[in-house]
Amino acid sequence: MNIKRWIGRREENWQRLDQLLSQVEQKGLKSIKSTEIRELASLYRSVAADLARARTQEVGKTLTQSLQTLTTRGYTQIYQGSRKQEWQAVKKFYLWGFPAVVQQTFLYTVVATLLFLLGGLVAWWYAWQDPSFMSLIVPESLISQVRDRGELWMGSIVGIEPLASSNIMINNISVSFAAVSGGISGGIYTIYIMVFNGLLIGAVATLVGQNNLAYPFWAFVFPHGALELPAIFLAGGAGLLIGKAILFPGKYRRRDAIKINSYLSAQLVFGIVPLLVIAGIIEGFISPNPAIPDPVKYLLGIGLFISLVIYLNRKQSTIN
């Protein structure tokens, strides 16, 4: 290979890549046109090939190092820059995208919440009317612990907080994903999950109320429940969105309605996962902690819920 001739043919590309990279490094990727972005990617691949050839042909240490530097700069701007943009997109979504989707699909979340509350009211009513109803919903061991020994079960978490917290996260995420995926049954399975979980909470709440343990029980529930329950309601709303698209596509073709609502549901899922992770940490480390007074737990739960409501109601204009 004639090295001088090869350098003469390729040097223009190296200079052009250096020029584009200098502009991007100083002003950012948005400072160049879309055609120049494609040119930048093409030149990067070309110079990377030139670097490989330079190493193979041993064209000289100085030139090889120069091409290595140019290639490294290109890699940083193309790949690291795209990753930075991805993180910026994630940040943008959590700042205002997720609240916007919640507001857009709020009616479905309300329906899911009402289904949950309906289950809770049914359990409360029948548990007071028929004592045997409790055993249909709540495990006998838990009933015996509350009724016979006058104890709550949260103490079992103390001492195994990391394990308990991770198990709680997995369980809550599984329930939420089940509520969302239940939409493919036309929303029937989603409705079942919401009502059943309402029945369970209602029955347990009635059990502790009947045995004068309501105050410590709700002190346990408030801190993590302020995030966990709304997240599950949002998951239920996401499932109902999919079910609605399947059964009642409206003005859209059923296929298009499913795509649109599934996209909204996916955004809801993406948004509630961090809520469930935070709730799991709180439920593992704070909610059962006997060193934290119950009034503090109530205040923490109320504060978290108010903060969540404010966050979900924020508009893009309040961020800019």
pLDDT tens digits, one per residue of 189-227: 999 999 999 999 999 999 999 999 999 999 999 999 999
Q: Rounded distance, CA 261 to CA 194, Å? A: 19
- C-alpha to C-alpha distance for 99 and 106, rounded to whole angstroms: 10
Number of H helices, E strands in the chain: 13, 0
From residue 233, alpha-carbon distances to 92, 168, 191, 202, 239 in Å are: 23, 17, 11, 16, 10
Q: Which pLDDT belongs to residue 75? A: 84
Query: Which pLDDT tens digit goes with each residue over 115-147?
Result: 999 999 999 999 998 888 888 899 898 999 999
Select the highest-mean-pLDDT range: 92-101, 144-153, 297-306: 297-306
> Tokens 């009642």 belong to which residue?
248
Cα–Cα distance, 175 to 167 (Å, whole number): 12
pLDDT band at 81 (very low <50, low <70, confident <90, very high): low
pLDDT value for 31 = 82
- For CA atoms 205, 206, 207, 209, give the dihedral sign: positive
Q: Which candidate, 207, 219, 218, places its Cα nearest to that of 147?
A: 207
Residue 318 has pLDDT above 80, yes or no: no
Weakest-pLDDT range from 194-198, 230-234, 239-243, 283-287: 283-287
Give me the percent of the chain exceeding a pLDDT of 90: 58
Q: What is the pTM of this model?
A: 0.75
CA distance 265 to 234: 9
Arithmetic mean of pLDDT over the chain: 89
Q: Cα(first)–Cα(last) distance of the chain, in Å?
A: 57
Q: What confidence category does residue 320 fall into, taking pLDDT thresholds of 50, 70 and 90? A: very low
Residue 317 confidence class, pLDDT cut points 50, 70, 90: low
Give the 3-state secondary structure of residue 320.
coil
CA distance 1 to 62: 18
Q: How far apart are CA 234 and CA 225, in angstroms?
A: 13
As to burial, measured by CB atoms within 10 angstroms (0-12 exposed, 13-18 middle, 19+ buried), residue 123 is buried
Report which of residues 258 and 5 the model is more confident about. 258
CA dihedral 10, 11, 12, 14 (to 10 degrees): 100
What is the residue-wise DSSP string for 188-246? Answer: HHHHHHHHHHHHHHHHHHHHHHHTT-HHHHHHHHHHHHHHHHHHHHHHHHHHHHHHHHH
Q: Averaging pLDDT over each range in 50-64, 134-148, 297-311, which range is the top one?
A: 297-311
Separation in Å, CA 134 to CA 33, 82, 95, 119:
67, 55, 43, 13
- What is the b/e burial string over 146-165, where b = at least 16 CB atoms within 10 angstroms of the residue's CB? beeeeebebeebeeebeebb
